[in-house]
């Protein structure tokens, strides 16, 4: 059963067919972002999870993951680590390749962002095939971080992306 809060969020997600490519139904979260009440509900869902586990840092994924991850990190008073598409981060990086629902790419993280043993929550807007977040998990692991939980506002369950993150704990609030 969906809570009323989750139902109102779910209802606000806008399907945009054939974006950015024919055949893809893009889940547009901007109606959530531009409604202060809904945005707060979404942030509170992440916060509730993170407060229940001792998290040292939030790792979030370029670009919509930043919108949620940064607010959660601010509220918890903990560090934020951006994982970005290749070529965007200015300092020394490590890189992990991944396949997207609509393409292929590489993600990068600064080499001095995560220290051994740090407890990490990974945050992104949407879990599709899982390639993006699996590359983030690889980068977290490379530096000895402990991926405590991967958290997503939306999960496209039919793509089975959570399999790629196993055995990490995966939580999503809106399932399609």
CA distance 165 to 168: 6
Tell which residue, 60, 87, 78, 53, has the closest CA to residue 169: 53
64 included as an active-site residue: yes
Looking at 64, 84, 108, 149, which residue is catalytic? 64
Query: What are the structure tokens assigned to 154, written together?
Result: 């939306």
Q: Least distance (Å) from ligand AMP to the CB of residue 61? A: 5
Contact predicate 124/140, CB 8 Å: no
* Residue 130 touching ligand AMP (CB under 6 A): yes
Contact predicate 122/59, CB 8 Å: yes
User: Where in 136-175 is the site for ligand AMP (CB under 6 A)?
Assistant: 161
User: Where in 46-105 is the site for ligand AMP (CB under 6 A)?
Assistant: 61, 64, 100-101
Tell which residue, 148, 151, 131, has the closest CA to residue 140: 148
Tell which residue, 96, 74, 69, 76, has the closest CA to residue 85: 96
Contact predicate 169/149, CB 8 Å: yes
Contact predicate 163/130, CB 8 Å: yes
Q: Least distance (Å) from ligand AMP to the CB of residue 20? A: 9
**Residue of 108, 118, 124, 149 interacting with ligand AMP (CB under 6 A):** 124
Tell which residue, 61, 49, 55, 112, has the closest CA to residue 78: 55
* Residue 127 touching ligand AMP (CB under 6 A): yes
User: Where in 10-29 is the site for ligand AMP (CB under 6 A)?
Assistant: 24-27
Total residues in contact with ligand AMP, by rule CB under 6 A? 19
108 included as an active-site residue: no
Q: Least distance (Å) from ligand AMP to the CB of residue 117? A: 27
**Residue of 132, 137, 173, 174 interacting with ligand AMP (CB under 6 A):** 132
Catalytic residues: 64, 101
- Residues at the contact surface with ligand AMP, assessed by CB under 6 A: 24-27, 61, 64, 100-101, 124-133, 161
């Amino acid at each position: 059963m969906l809570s009323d809060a989750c139902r109102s969020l779910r209802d606000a997600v806008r399907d945009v067919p054939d974006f950015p490519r024919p055949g893809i139904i893009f889940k547009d979260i901007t109606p959530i972002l531009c409604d202060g009440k809904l945005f707060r509900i979404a942030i509170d869902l992440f916060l509730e999870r993170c407060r229940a586990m001792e998290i040292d840092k939030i790792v979030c994924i370029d670009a919509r993951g930043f919108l949620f991850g940064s607010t959660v990190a601010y509220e918890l008073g903990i560090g934020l680590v951006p994982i970005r598409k290749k070529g965007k981060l200015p300092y020394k990086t490590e890189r992990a390749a991944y396949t997207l629902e609509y393409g292929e790419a590489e993600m990068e993280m600064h080499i001095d962002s995560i220290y051994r043993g740090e407890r990490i929550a990974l945050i992104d807007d949407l879990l599709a095939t899982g390639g993006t977040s699996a590359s983030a998990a690889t980068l977290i692991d490379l530096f000895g971080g402990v991926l405590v939980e991967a958290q997503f506002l939306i999960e496209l369950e039919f793509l089975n992306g959570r399999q790629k993150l196993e055995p990490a704990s995966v939580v999503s609030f809106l399932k399609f």
